[in-house]
Chains A and B, each alone.
Chain A
């Protein structure tokens, strides 16, 4: 260590040449710009359209600012269904995720082939968008909340397992080692030494998932999986913007209230 602290004099006295970090950065910028141009062409970026049709936006916005409150009673069942779906999906999703997270973490699963299989399965589940799950499940179990809940559960398991297993990976393994040294099984050591350590981050993940579910369950109804989404589909097909506006307002209030609640809870947990 003392050698490193006292480098030979000529080295410190010489001006080093500027490290050439510029070249990779420039290359990265060129690649990113190329991707952006390619994507822009594919998507058909048309900023002129905004200039042509901005009046439409004004008309819409004025309609949006006048929600049709008389529509409220008709939205109540869908609103409740959205809430129910979110609660049930969060509950089932969390229950399934806890054991899976332990199986998906290097820190808690000593069985390498099983670990690899679980991780691959989780990546697979996470790679399918929730709306695809919803569309397929609607065909399998029929239109309604059940397919929506199942889609949300799959979606939730993907998120929770990833985040919680990462929390496990980062956790200190001392207590687990002590439990194993006392003759515990891996399950016993993980349950009593690792679970308490990640409980706060698990709880915070569950709350976060609940928030996401409220948002997601308003959407998956578009393919018939229950909740506010079905209403959104109806009102937009008939351009009833006053009613759409009320629905947006409801989502907004629901999500903001929940976000405030859960961020208050999360502050207490962590």
Chain B
């Protein structure tokens, strides 16, 4: 019943923001289906830009990105719009740094937002969800072990619980890809591990391709099979965690490793 992951192929993907700032400088990158990739880099390196191009939240200026059967292109090409773009997005779940839940409504309603693409407009407007969709949402909540809170307002949950609800929302899409943009940056160290473990488990059990941006190098090393280092809109490292030594670190961060860059060190502070 569950679907497998999709591969993601960047071809010379370029993003120039309206103010002229180069967010991505011609990235070419191949992420095979089912891989868990950690993206690290300084703040402003272009990590968010990279993942946000994958579901079209940030439009490409040039080049292309193929996600499963869909291709996003820059302004020159035939840009995905309307229903086609939404179809691509429905195959790609996204987890945000600040959880992005509608805090005043219930947990289950938040998870059901993952089914919006598949719901006809009248059901959406009336809030009359299909039983199948509710079942899917419940199962997603069970997978992140928080189904007991289904009917509570999202605002009443702790940060870690809210992020797990957000993961369930992404899972409810039955996605082929999950993107996570600094998913643990608002959480304390122990909770960060819970959330990262959830993402890793989803990747392992469901075969969903996971691309996760992380500020902390050690978290990325621990949880991802492949590490991508970014700096100034370019990829400066692509390899396994084991290969990422001190020299590689300097090329990504432009300086040597400090306690600031490691979650465990901060946890001990």
Please tell me whether chains A and B touch each other in their complex, using a CB distance cut-off of 8 A.
yes
Taking beta carbons and an 8 Å cutoff, which residues of A are in contact with B?
174-175, 177-185, 187-189, 191-194, 196-197, 199-200
Tell whether, in the assembled complex, residue A197 and residue B102 are in contact, meaning their CB atoms are under 8 Å apart: yes
CA A38 to CA B225, docked complex, whole Å = 78
Tell whether, in the assembled complex, residue A183 and residue B119 are in contact, meaning their CB atoms are under 8 Å apart: no
Tell whether, in the assembled complex, residue B86 and residue A192 are in contact, meaning their CB atoms are under 8 Å apart: no
Tell whether, in the assembled complex, residue B119 and residue A188 are in contact, meaning their CB atoms are under 8 Å apart: yes
Contact with A along B90-122 (1 / 0, CB 8 A): 111110101111111100011011101101010
Contact with A along B3-30 (1 / 0, CB 8 A): 0000000000000000000000000000
Nearest residue (CB) in A for B172 is A182
Nearest 10 Cβ contacts at the A-B interface: A183-B90, A183-B117, A174-B100, A184-B116, A196-B105, A183-B89, A175-B102, A178-B100, A183-B86, A181-B94
Residues of B within 8 Å of A183, CB to CB, are 86-91, 116-117, 173
Taking beta carbons and an 8 Å cutoff, which residues of B are in contact with A?
55, 57, 86-94, 96, 98-105, 109-110, 112-114, 116-117, 119, 121, 124-125, 127, 166, 169-170, 173
Tell whether, in the assembled complex, residue A187 and residue B125 are in contact, meaning their CB atoms are under 8 Å apart: yes
Residues of B within 8 Å of A188, CB to CB, are 116, 119, 121, 124
| Given A174-B99, A175-B101, A185-B57 contact (CB < 8 Å) | no
Tell whether, in the assembled complex, residue B124 and residue A191 are in contact, meaning their CB atoms are under 8 Å apart: yes
Residues of A within 8 Å of B93, CB to CB, are 182
Residues of A within 8 Å of B96, CB to CB, are 174, 177-178
Tell whether, in the assembled complex, residue A192 and residue B116 are in contact, meaning their CB atoms are under 8 Å apart: yes
Tell whether, in the assembled complex, residue A175 and residue B90 are in contact, meaning their CB atoms are under 8 Å apart: no
Nearest residue (CB) in A for B110 is A175
What are 8 inter-chain pairs, A to B, with CB distance below 8 A?
Answer: A178-B100, A181-B55, A182-B113, A182-B170, A183-B91, A188-B116, A189-B116, A196-B109
Chain A interface, >50% SS class: helix
CA A177 to CA B92, docked complex, whole Å = 14
Tell whether, in the assembled complex, residue B94 and residue A182 are in contact, meaning their CB atoms are under 8 Å apart: yes
Tell whether, in the assembled complex, residue B121 and residue A192 are in contact, meaning their CB atoms are under 8 Å apart: no
Tell whether, in the assembled complex, residue A178 and residue B169 are in contact, meaning their CB atoms are under 8 Å apart: yes
Q: Which of A175, A187, A194, A196 contacts B100 (CB 8 A)?
A: A175
CA A194 to CA B91, docked complex, whole Å = 23
Tell whether, in the assembled complex, residue B100 and residue A177 are in contact, meaning their CB atoms are under 8 Å apart: yes
Tell whether, in the assembled complex, residue A182 and residue B169 are in contact, meaning their CB atoms are under 8 Å apart: yes
Q: Which of A182, A189, A193 contacts B173 (CB 8 A)?
A: A182
Tell whether, in the assembled complex, residue A184 and residue B117 are in contact, meaning their CB atoms are under 8 Å apart: yes
Residues of B within 8 Å of A181, CB to CB, are 55, 57, 89, 92, 94
Residues of A within 8 Å of B109, CB to CB, are 192, 196
Q: Which of B87, B124, B173 contacts A192 (CB 8 A)?
A: B124
CA A177 to CA B119, docked complex, whole Å = 18
Tell whether, in the assembled complex, residue B102 and residue A196 are in contact, meaning their CB atoms are under 8 Å apart: yes
Tell whether, in the assembled complex, residue A187 and residue B124 are in contact, meaning their CB atoms are under 8 Å apart: yes
